[in-house]
Chain A
Amino acid sequence: MANNNGNVARILYKEIVEGDLRKIQAQSNDADTGGGARDFRFGSYKKLMPAIQKMFPKTVKEKRKRNGQTIQIDVFKGKFFWNNPEGMLLQKDSFFEPPTDVRPSEGRIARVHEYACFDTSLIPKGGVGNRILLLLIQLHDNSVWPFFAEECTLRTTGKWDPEVARELLACIDAERSVNRAVIGYRDFTNTDKYCNGK
């Protein structure tokens, strides 16, 4: 943390589904999970833009192959912060790539296997009735901290800050198609929020 304030400005969250785990463990390269890239995919890209742009405030040019041709695209850039098991503060540049033509509504955090904070050993074991959410927590000092949250802990009174628990549970419990992952964000500095359920 750049300072000791620690006040949360906004949270971008996404349910970790089986496909995400297979991708991060490099066990899949099927079309269902978005090919062989090791990334976390975020649907509802346009709706999440207000939060994405704040968490990845810079842009860099990157070369990508599209339809067999190499082109330059703008990739959002920020920085992830986390503590290793010994409590040491680590940080690394983070990148959020805009959608491809094939998946026009999905943005993605790229190369997640290169980040120790996304180590699969850190991801709680979820299951039916106990979904796992990836949280990108941005503080007022603009630092972004990835964490995982278990649904069962959110439902346990007194474990989480009640305002945060209320927000995440409301989106988990919202109505959506069975095959849609929970995705949304909540900005605590204003009234902005999004949840992909109703």
Chain B
Amino acid sequence: MENNLSDECLETLRLLARSKNVLISGSPGTGKSKLLAEVAFAFETAYGITPTGGPPRLNPLAGIPIPPASGKKNENIPAPTKNKREVFRTVFHQNSKYRDFISGITPSVNKKAGGQDFTIVSGTLYRASEYARSGDGAALLIIDEINRGPALQIFGGSIVAIEPDKRLAPDGSKRIETQYFELLHPDSSNIIEYALPDDLYILAAMNQADASVEPLDVAFLRRWEPLRLEPNEQVLRNFYGLKAKTDNPLPNIPANITDALEASVKAWVAINNQISLGRGSEFQIGHGVLMSTIEPSSLPLNEALNLLCVGWAKVKVHVEEVFFGDIRGIAATLNALDGPNYNPFKLVETTFADDLRFKLDGPTNFTESTIYHALRAFSQR
């Protein structure tokens, strides 16, 4: 049961149960989207999260054959006693609005003759909140790319009300600390005071190192329990079917598929070390960029090398983006400054208008014949 869920998923569920608002951050390819999907599945189906922390058990002599297990209530899962569980999803972007998230006025499309020209829409947070306010309901609101839109504007007055101790009581009643905010009520069209329910959980994800993101201020961030995902070498090794890392040098020519995959892991680790030094650890590239639905260990060597070309093309683009305008940074990351002579990439000096200039010579795309040498060179430090 619970063993089928990843450790990160169980940790996220535990944090949601404790703090109600969880913010996942991590470099691209560290598994944020996969984790969001896993938590959504676990929350909605209650897969592996029974209220007592144990699987269903048969009691053949009881009137009800599978009664609730007795025992201590599991505090590590959100809304353990609620049977109606729903996941609501949204993705923030530059054009996301308060109206889309809470409520607001929008033109009526395809209105009937004589009908209203405008209508009041229910935003994602409002709909999730209303679901969780129903008697047996619990809602998980997932916000992906939370820092790609103007988050503070989108949350508006609800930003204080999302705090766990500012919610309504579990039975829906008002507490002394309950924080109300005003919203345009979609049903009555009146401005009403509104508070968020206890069993509304918000799970957001962001990548701090992308170019088109909005800064999140400290006041916003402190309302979330952080969960950081890091690039994980062991996950990549497991995907490749490799054993624990070794210090054995890579051969000049790959004798088998294991040599090629080992080169990929070592090169990826070395590239991330260089990115961390040159730009900061948040700019690293995650293990997911080299993973796909195809298991490379099951392929012939030439096909595996071609598959590596696909993943490594993305790594190279990432490096070029991270060090945009810094040709020496790119060269250093690809070990092309004073790297081994078999590195297909070389930093060369040239002149422009009598000024010294640098350019990076090398193949535009990785190929089956160049990829191994490139990876071996990247990994040599």
B64 located at the interface, meaning its Cβ lies under 8 Å from any Cβ of chain A in the complex: yes
- A1 interface residue per 8 A CB criterion: yes
- Taking a contact as CB atoms under 8 Å apart, the answer to whether B66 and A164 are in contact is yes
What distance in Å separates the Cβ of A12 from its nearest Cβ neighbour in chain B?
Answer: 14
Known contacts A6-B59, A8-B58; A190/B4 CB under 8 A: yes
Contacts of B69 in A (CB 8 A): 161
Answer whether A163 and B58 are a contact pair too, CB < 8 Å, given A145-B65, A188-B1: no
Alpha-carbon distance between A1 and B57 when the two chains are bound, in angstroms = 12
Asked whether B50 is an interface residue with its Cβ less than 8 Å from the other chain, the reply is: yes
Say yes or no: is A121 at the interface (Cβ < 8 Å to chain B). no
Verify if B68 is at the interface (C-beta below 8 Å from A). yes
CB contacts (< 8 Å) of A158 on chain B: these are 68
B316 to chain A, nearest CB (A): 36
From known contacts A82-B60, A160-B64, A161-B67, infer whether A7 and B55 are also in contact, taking CB-CB under 8 Å. Answer: yes
Q: How far is the CB of A166 from chain B (nearest CB, A)?
A: 5
**Is the Cβ of A83 less than 8 Å from the Cβ of B67?**
no
Instruction: Determine whether the beta carbon of B66 is less than 8 Å from that of A160.
Output: yes
Report how far A164 CA is from B65 CA in the complex, Å.
Answer: 11
Q: Is A120 an interface residue (CB 8 A)?
A: no
User: What residue of chain B has the Cβ atom nearest to residue A143's Cβ?
Assistant: B58
- Chain A CB within 8 A of B56 CB: yes
* B64 adjacent to A7 (CB under 8 Å): no
Q: How many residues on the B side are at the interface (Cβ–Cβ under 8 A)?
A: 28
Is A157 a contact partner of B65 (Cβ separation < 8 A)? no
A147 to B65, CA, bound (A): 7
Q: Check B66–A83 contact: CB distance below 8 A.
A: no
Q: Which of A39-75 contact B (CB under 8 A)?
A: none
- The number of residues on chain A lying at the interface, defined by a beta carbon within 8 Å of a beta carbon of chain B, is 30
Tell me the complex Cα distance, A188–B50, Å.
Answer: 11
| Interface mask (B57-82 → A, CB under 8 Å = 1, otherwise 0) | 11111001111110000000000110
Chain B residues whose C-beta falls within 8 Å of the C-beta of A82 in the assembled complex: 60
Shortest A90–chain B CB gap in Å is: 11
B109 to A: closest C-beta gap in Å: 27
In contact, B46 and A6 (Cβ under 8 angstroms): no
User: What string of 1s and 0s marks CB contacts (under 8 Å) between A11-53 and chain B?
Assistant: 0000000000000000000000000000000000000000000
A152 to B46 CA separation, bound complex (whole angstroms)? 21
Least CB distance from A155 to B in Å reads: 9
Chain B residues, CB < 8 A from A112: none
B220 within 8 A of partner (CB): no
Q: Which of B118-134 contact A (CB under 8 A)?
A: none
Least Cβ distance of B67 to chain A in Å? 6
Can you give 29 A-B contacts (C-beta < 8 A)?
A6-B59, A7-B57, A7-B58, A8-B55, A8-B56, A83-B61, A137-B65, A145-B60, A147-B65, A149-B65, A157-B81, A157-B83, A159-B64, A160-B66, A160-B67, A161-B69, A162-B46, A162-B51, A162-B81, A163-B46, A164-B56, A165-B83, A166-B45, A166-B85, A169-B83, A188-B1, A188-B55, A190-B4, A191-B41
Given A6-B59, A160-B67, A163-B49, list of 8 further CB < 8 A pairs? A8-B56, A137-B66, A139-B58, A153-B64, A157-B83, A160-B68, A162-B51, A164-B66
